[in-house]
A and B are shown apart, each in its own frame.
Chain A
Amino acid sequence: MSSQLQNQPKRLGAGLIILGIVAIVLLMAIPLFVVRDSQFGGSDNAGAKAITAIAPDYNSQWITNFWTPPGGETESMLFALQAAAGGILIGYLFGYLRGRKAAQQSSPDS
């Protein structure tokens, strides 16, 4: 198994990385232009609507969220906060790793 792994390219080239990023952006952007008559509601009424259709008598109010954001703006802010927290962590750790690598390379001992 190790010999098989050794035969593989060690790392992706810059071209492939750029291609990957372009593909990700396109996968997210194309729907916005192809599907015209939609607001892309990610709304959570979704599954709920289907449930209501299948089981009209089901009462989902037997328990409700402990706290709900007062509106869309606050909700967006909290989602942005979640993404920012993760993004800061990722950026910090990658920065640390890059710095560590640079320090190792500039030190003649290692």
Chain B
Amino acid sequence: MTFHKRLRWSMLLVLPLLLGVRIAWAYPAAAPSSMHIMEGFLPLGWAVFWWLVALPFWIIGFIKVKKLLTEKPEQRLLLGLAGGFIFVLSALKIPSVTGSSSHPTGTGLGTILFGPFVVGILGTIALIFQALLVAHGGISTLGANAMSMAIGGPLIAYGVWRLLRGKAPSYVNVFVTAFVADLATYVITTSQLALAFPDPVSGFMGSWLTFAGIFAVTQIPLAVAEGILTVLIFNALQTSATAEMQALGLQEA
């Protein structure tokens, strides 16, 4: 399967995302939400499974980061910026209309600049920091949380970015990509929890809707805010980092 074919497959994941958002409005979320799956809240089998799924992405990510730093050392500035952006945004717990708070992801910017695999490494670094120092997320659930925030969300968002490239104005594309990276993260978390904890009566879909009500709805306004912020940063980079943006093909020479 070629890379582009895989991207198209990942695009299919966006459909249930949109559908899920539509349905989730019918389930007002009473419970507060959190971004990461907490330590111990996946059974051992699922924890190991998601580690194994994440592992090849981490390996490719390491290779891509190394390649970027050796072939385009001048891009380390923007790489640091993309990492800093993820660090800041994933530390902020922002109130949402459902009466609970949640974190943005900050992964959209890096996805646009360097692609999903490099972001996989940057996002995982932020997740490790939070798991070890703030007790948000955990080591057993690191694979699952990396698959949602650091890898899966960016991968889907990158598919959207490539799809809209040249078809939509670049600022619209930047906004949509960052929005999708943020929201898709929570849709994946929802799916991971529903897989591990299917409802005894209504099964996977029943659980999925419950978790979507908690995670996805809260996230929508935050994803909009993150989309706008990413557009502003992208604009600032075009102003200040013209050479780097041109080298990445994100700005006309």
Contact = CB atoms under 8 A, between A and B. Distances in A.
Interface of A: 1-2, 4-6, 8, 10-12, 17, 20-21, 23-24, 27-28, 30-32, 34-35, 37-38, 40-51, 54-55, 58, 60-69, 75, 78-80, 82-83, 85-90, 93-94, 96-98, 101
A37 B238 CA distance: 43
B31 A50 contact: yes
A43 B134 contact: no
A83 B88 CA distance: 4
Which 8 residue pairs spanning A and B have beta carbons closest together?
A86-B87, A42-B101, A38-B99, A89-B84, A86-B88, A1-B166, A41-B32, A82-B91
Contacts of B80: 89, 93
B252 A2 contact: yes
Given A44-B34, A79-B93, A64 B199 contact: no
A43 B32 contact: yes
B40 A63 contact: yes
A41 B101 contact: yes
Interface in B62-79: 77-78
Interface stretch (B2-10, B176-184, B226-234): B226-234
Contacts of A89: 80-81, 83-84, 87
A96 B244 CA distance: 13
A63 B47 CA distance: 11
Interface residues of B, number: 81
A46 B235 contact: no
Contacts, number: 205
Main secondary structure of the interface of A (DSSP, over half): helix
A62 B44 CA distance: 8
Interface of B: 31-34, 36-41, 43-44, 77-78, 80-81, 83-103, 126, 129-136, 138-140, 165-166, 169-171, 189, 193, 197-200, 207, 210-211, 214-215, 221-222, 224-225, 228-229, 231-232, 235-236, 238-242, 252
Contacts of B198: 54
A32 B95 contact: yes
14 contacts: A2-B252, A11-B235, A27-B222, A31-B99, A40-B95, A42-B101, A43-B32, A47-B38, A63-B39, A66-B139, A86-B91, A93-B84, A94-B81, A101-B242
B128 to A, nearest CB: 11
A42 B102 contact: yes
